[in-house]
A = this chain, B = another copy of it.
Amino acid sequence: MKINFNRREPVYVQVVRHFKQQIAMNMLEPGQEIPSRRELAGELKINPNTVQRAYKEMEEQGLIYTERNLPSKITRNEQVLQVVREELIMDAVDQFVTTVQSVQVPLDEIVTIIKEKYEQTNADKGEEDHD
């Protein structure tokens, strides 16, 4: 577990987003146990209370659940998991479309730019995988 923190956003927000991305990538399965507050705080070199803040938000959103005093787990509610994925996408789309519309770029140009960027960065990722 490793997160590249930026200093613009609150740390707990970035932690939440990281978990959402992990979920959307299917790197975290339903029911899977996640690190305890103290453990993750140790890994990320942040305060346990900051992790608690992040986990609390995730719990309020139904992303994780906690039984007794055991480490929390990823929700088994498939719909919630699906929504996480969809929201990530739709939020990105919303913001993106808002921006490009304000600049009045033709849709064709946009698609072209995205395709280039998409394939370019995908190629980069592919090279990293060479062994």
List A residues at the B interface (Cβ < 8 Å): 21, 24-25, 85, 88-105, 107, 110-111, 113-115, 117-119, 121-122, 125
Contacts and interface: CB of A to CB of B under 8 A. Distances in A.
B102 A25 contact: yes
A115 B107 contact: yes
Contacts of A24: 102-103
A5 to B, nearest CB: 15
A126 to B, nearest CB: 12
Contact of A96 (B25, B95, B125): B95
Contacts of A88: 99, 102-103
A16 to B, nearest CB: 14
B114 A111 contact: yes
| Max count, chain B CB within 10 A of own CB: residue among A95, A113, A114, A119 | A114
Contacts of A118: 97, 100-101, 107, 110
Given A90-B113, A93-B96, 12 more contacts: A21-B102, A89-B99, A95-B96, A97-B114, A97-B117, A97-B121, A98-B121, A101-B118, A107-B115, A107-B118, A110-B118, A111-B115
A96 to B, nearest CB: 4
